[in-house]
Amino acid sequence: MTLKRLSMLQWFGLLGAGLAWAAQQVVGFGIGQAECSAGGRGFGISNDAWQLALLGCAGTLVVLAEVAAAIVFVRTRGVGHEDDPPPGRLHFFAAAALVANVLFLTAMLLDTFASVFGTLCRGG
C-alpha cells in the first residue's frame, strides 16, 4: 500500500470517530427536541428508535475508523513514533486513533443508553 493511501486511511482513522460522535450529538439533540416540543408531537417521532438507529450508523463509522487505524498501525509496525515523517507520523496517529476510537464509541453507547432508558421529556 502506498504512503498516500496509508495517509488517507490514517486521517479517516483519526478523525472519523470524532466527527461521527459530534454528528450523533447534534442529530440526537434534535431528535430529543423534536419529540419533546409541542411542534414535534404531531409527527409521532420515536426517540428510542431514532437514537438506536443513529447509534447504528455512527457506530458503524467508528468501527470503520478503528479498522482503518488498525490497518495503518499494522502496515507501519516496524516504524517508531520518533522516526521521520511520514511513516513515523502515520504510526503515531494510528496508535492514538486506536485508543481514541474506543473512547468515542464508549461515549456514544453511554449517550444512547441514557437517551433511551432515561427520562427524556419532563413537564414544567
CA separation (Å) from 85 to 58, 79, 80?
31, 10, 10
d(CA 43, CA 22): 25
pLDDT digits (tens, 9 = 90+) for 28-84: 999 988 888 877 777 778 889 999 999 999 999 999 999 999 999 999 988 876 767
Query: Could you give the 3-state DSSP secondary structure of residue 89?
Result: helix
Go through 56-89 and write b for each residue having 16 or more CB atoms within 10 A of its CB, e for each that does not. Answer: eebbebbebbbebbbbbbebbeebeeeeeebbeb
pLDDT at 84: 75
Q: For the chain, what's the residue count?
A: 124
Q: Is the pLDDT reported for residue 105 higher than 90?
A: yes
Residue 44, sorted as left (phi over 0), alpha (psi -120 to 50) or beta, turns out to be: left
| pLDDT more than 90, % of the chain | 65
CA separation (Å) from 87 to 5, 41, 44, 79?
12, 53, 52, 7
Report the chain's C-alpha Rg in angstroms.
19
Which pTM was predicted?
0.88
pLDDT at 123: 66
pLDDT at 13: 96
